[in-house]
Amino acid sequence: MAVPYHYVDWTAANVAGGTASGTITLPDSSVVTVSFEAINADGSPGNLNFAQTSGAGTNYWAAFGGAPYISAEVDNAPPDSDIVSLVGGVNQTYRVTLSEPIKDPIMAIVSLGSGGTPTTYDFDSPFTIVSQGQGHWGGTSTSLTQLPDDILRGAEGHGTIQFIGTFSTFTWVVPTPENWHGFTFGIRTTEAIEPTPAPEPAALALFGLGLAGIGLLRRRRASARG
């Protein structure tokens, strides 16, 4: 079933310095801080295209009632106009850092690529596309494509991807230049609120028996070859 996600309230951005920061407030009143940075290949600060903070500016998430960002996994679109925008094709690495481990974070995306200029986000972490569709600048239900090696391809793509697992940071690169594309992040819960259960003793025992069986089989094969 879809669950509510809680999005970043971006409160500050330095376009020329390539940084942005904000907070996510969860229902139990705990706060997760979020920082974003663009980093040049030589390690120096990169830059953003633009950023909208504290609810100001055009709400690119509101087209069609936020439909491209709602799915069986995610109950709600970003609530206001906050967004960070990139150009790509400038040999920068983009990094998001969260103040604590987050379970199954999502990234909502506006206008990744265009019909004539497909653009890719090459991530360092696995993800899955959970929603997409016609958004602020057009697009379709197939404008985002998941490629091998954790690459997202967009041709006027509007939608949401979900990183499966627990993360406190992830990075990506954008090899192809384009006018602009934007994003924000949301979280369902944290590892502190919802700890990942430890493996049951029985499961560990079965795993150990499986390893022992593999070792015995290898020894038998070695003896047969001898």
Q: How confident is the model at residue 200 (pLDDT cuts 50, 70, 90)?
A: low
Contacts 24+ apart (CB under 8 A), 136-140: 136/60, 136/61, 136/62, 136/63, 136/110, 136/111, 137/110, 137/111, 139/68, 139/111
Rounded (10°) CA dihedral 144, 102, 48, 182: 30
**C-alpha 215, offset from chain centre:** 40
pLDDT at position 214: 47
CA dihedral (188, 193, 198, 200) positive or negative = negative
Res. 103: pLDDT tops 50: yes
Q: What is the mean pLDDT of the chain?
A: 90
Identify the band that residue 222 occupies on the pLDDT scale cut at 50, 70 and 90: very low
pLDDT band at 197 (very low <50, low <70, confident <90, very high): confident
Residue 210 has pLDDT above 80, yes or no: no
Task: State the Cα–Cα distance between residues 36 and 168, nearest whole angstrom.
Answer: 12
Residues 73 and 145: beta-carbon distance below 8 Å: no
